[in-house]
């Protein structure tokens, strides 16, 4: 029952945002969903990396070496947080077949949020 509740919450969270249309197209078998979500995550992660590079470039151009260090440190700590959070999400599935998709959905959601944060950071630097 707990797994079903989590699945429903994930579905609602995924379906409620237009920015997450790619995830809503992932369906059918557990395998197909997992493969599809992995492709979405790869795209989202690429977007994050490009946005981070832009933020780092802007920081180097406008701020001190300490500020550059702080941004790099924050990104490393954010990655550790993301990985721990999604590992915990995966653990809720108790080894069930929905675990990998829950893990990837978590990675997608948290990575999108970080990308938005970095974009807002870049906008504030203009």
Q: Hey, what domains does the chain have and what are their CATH numbers?
A: 2-18+30-124 (1.20.1270.180)
Is pLDDT above 50 for 75? yes
Out of 13-22, 28-37, 54-63, 99-108, pick the least confident.
Answer: 13-22
High-pLDDT (> 90) share of the chain, %: 67
Residues 49 and 47: their CA atoms lie apart, in Å, by 5
The larger pLDDT score, comparing residue 24 to residue 53, is at 53
* Predicted local distance difference test score (pLDDT) of residue 65: 96
Is pLDDT above 50 for 6? no
Is pLDDT above 90 for 4? no
Is pLDDT above 60 for 45? yes
* Predicted local distance difference test score (pLDDT) of residue 25: 84
pTM of the model: 0.79
- On whether the CB atoms of residues 30 and 98 are closer than 8 A, the answer is yes
Contacts of 27 (CB under 8 A, 6+ apart): 33, 36
Rg (CA), the chain: 17
Mean pLDDT along residues 52-77: 96
């Amino acid at each position: 029952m707990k797994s079903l509740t989590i699945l429903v919450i994930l579905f609602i969270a995924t379906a409620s945002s237009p920015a997450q249309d790619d995830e809503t197209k992932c369906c059918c078998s557990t395998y197909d969903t997992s493969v599809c979500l992995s492709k979405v995550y790869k795209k989202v992660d690429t977007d994050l990396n490009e946005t981070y590079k832009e933020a780092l470039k802007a920081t180097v151009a406008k701020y001190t070496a300490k500020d550059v260090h702080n941004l790099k440190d924050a990104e490393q700590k954010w990655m550790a947080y993301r990985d721990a959070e999604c590992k915990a999400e995966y653990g809720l599935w108790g080894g069930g077949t929905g675990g990998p998709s829950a893990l990837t959905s978590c990675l997608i959601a948290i990575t999108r949020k970080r990308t938005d944060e970095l974009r807002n950071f870049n906008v504030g630097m203009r």
